[in-house]
Amino acid sequence: MTETTVPAPARRGLLKAAAIGAAGTAVLATPNVSRAQTTTLRFQSTWPQRDIFHEFAQDYVERVNRMAGGRLRLELLAAGAVVGAFQLLDAVHAGTLDGGHGVSAYWFGKNKSFSLFGTTPPWFNDANHMIGWFYYGGGEALYRELMHDVLRMNAVGFMTGPMPTQPLGWFKNPIERADQIRGLRYRTVGLATDLFNEMGAAVVALPGGEIVPALERGVIDGAEFNNPSSDRVLGFADVARNYMIQSFHQRVECFEILFNRQRYEGLPAELQAILRHGAEAASADMSWKQQDRYSRDLVALAQGGVNVRPTPRPVLDAQLQAWDRVIQRLEADNSAPANGPLFKKICDSQREWCRRVGGFYLRYEASAVISYNHFFARG
C-alpha cells in the first residue's frame, strides 16, 4: 500500500488560511442585521396631546421604535394633526394615515357591533378579561369578520390597554336618582349611547378635547370621559364639581391599535410581530402605570374640593335593567345580516367566556373588600 504524503504548507500559506478561517468564523458570529432604509409610518392618536391617553400611545410607539432597531419607526401625531378623532379609522382605511391609537367604540356609527370590542355590556369582571376573550376566546376572529368581511375596511387592529370602570361622570348637581337622567344632555360614546337613550337622556357624542368646552357653555349638562388623570388634565373640575364614580355604562373598555392592512401586510414578518407584540407589552405597562397615576389624581381631585361620590345603587340597578332592553333590541335587529345576527353572535361568544372565566375568578379568589377593610379601614 502506498502512503500518501501531504506536503507541509509554507508559512505564508498558513497565515492566509488562518485569516480565511478567522474571517469565516466572524461571518458566522455576526448577526444578520439588515441595512435597509428605515420605514416610517405616520401614526395618529385620537387624544389631545396633554391627555394621559396620548402618553399611552407614546409608550407603545417608543417600544416599537426601540425593538425595531432602526428598520421601522412610528411617527406619533396627536388628534387633529391629520384628521379628527372620529375620522381615524377612515383615514387608516384610505392610507391617509398608516396607523393610529384609539378605541373601537368610536366606530360605533359604522356598525354597533364595533362597540362590543370597546364598551361592552357589563358582563366582564374587568377589562383584562375582555382582552383575554379577544385573544383566547374567539374575539379576534369575530373582530376580523366585522372589520374585513362585513365592512370591507382596509385595516388590522389589536386590543390593548385594559381600562378600569369609567365614572358616571361630571355634573353640576349630584345624581341621586335614576329619574334625574331623563332629559339630561349627556356626553358618552358607543353602546353607552343606546343605554342612556334608553334611560331617557339626550346623548351627545364628542371627542375628548371638546367635552369640557361643551360643559362650560351649557351645551351638555353632564359628561363622562374615562378616568381621574384624563379628567383632571382636561379641566373637568373647572366647570363641574360633582364627580360620580362607579357605573355600569362602561364597566370595561380597552384601546385599539390600528394599521392600514396593506401597509401592515407589506412589512417583513418580524416587523409585523413587533407591531403586534409591542401592543401586548404596552398593554401590560399601561395597566401598571394607571394604577399609580389614576389613584394619585383621584386623591388630588378630592383634595382640590371636588365632591367625589359613588353612584347610588338604584341608579346602577336602573342601568342594568336598561342594558337588558338594549341588548334584546339590538340582538333582534334583522334589518341587515350584519346587524342583529352578528351582534348576537359576538354577544353569545362574550357571554360564554364570561360565565366560565368570570365565574372562575368570583369563586376562586378571596374577596379583596374583606382584606382591604381588615388592613386599611380599621379605626
pLDDT in tens, the chain (379 residues): 333 333 444 444 433 444 334 333 333 333 444 445 899 999 999 999 999 999 999 999 999 999 999 999 999 999 999 999 999 999 999 999 999 999 999 999 999 999 999 889 999 999 999 999 999 999 999 999 999 999 999 999 999 999 999 999 999 999 999 999 999 999 999 999 999 999 999 999 888 889 999 999 999 999 999 999 999 999 999 999 999 999 999 999 999 999 999 999 999 999 999 999 999 999 999 999 999 999 999 999 999 999 999 999 999 999 999 999 999 999 998 876 667 899 999 999 999 999 999 999 999 999 999 999 999 987 6
Whole-number pLDDT of residue 208: 85
Does the residue 376 lie in any domain?
no
The whole-angstrom separation of Cα 377 and Cα 379 is 6
Check residue 118 and give its pLDDT: 86
The answer to whether position 22 is within a domain reads: no
Provide the pairing of β-strand 155-163 with 253-260: antiparallel
The Cα 142–Cα 246 span in angstroms is 29
pLDDT at 33: 44
The pLDDT value recorded for residue 318 is 98
Q: How many domains does the chain have?
A: 1
Question: Which tens digit of pLDDT belongs to each residue from 94-127?
Answer: 999 999 999 999 999 999 999 999 889 999 999 9
pLDDT value of position 8? 43
CATH of the domain at 73: 3.40.190.170
**Domain range for residue 143?**
39-163+252-292
Distance CA 78, CA 47 (A): 6
Strand order in the sheet with 253-260: 72-77, 39-45, 99-102, 253-260, 155-163
75 contact partners, CB below 8 Å, separation of at least 6: 40, 41, 42, 43
User: Considering the domain boundaries, does residue 128 fall inside one?
Assistant: yes
Query: Taking Cα atoms as reference points, which of 272, 250, 320, 283 lies closest to residue 132?
Result: 283
- Residue written as grid cell 345576527: 341
pTM: 0.88
How far is the C-alpha of 354 from the C-alpha of 192, rounded, in Å?
Answer: 20
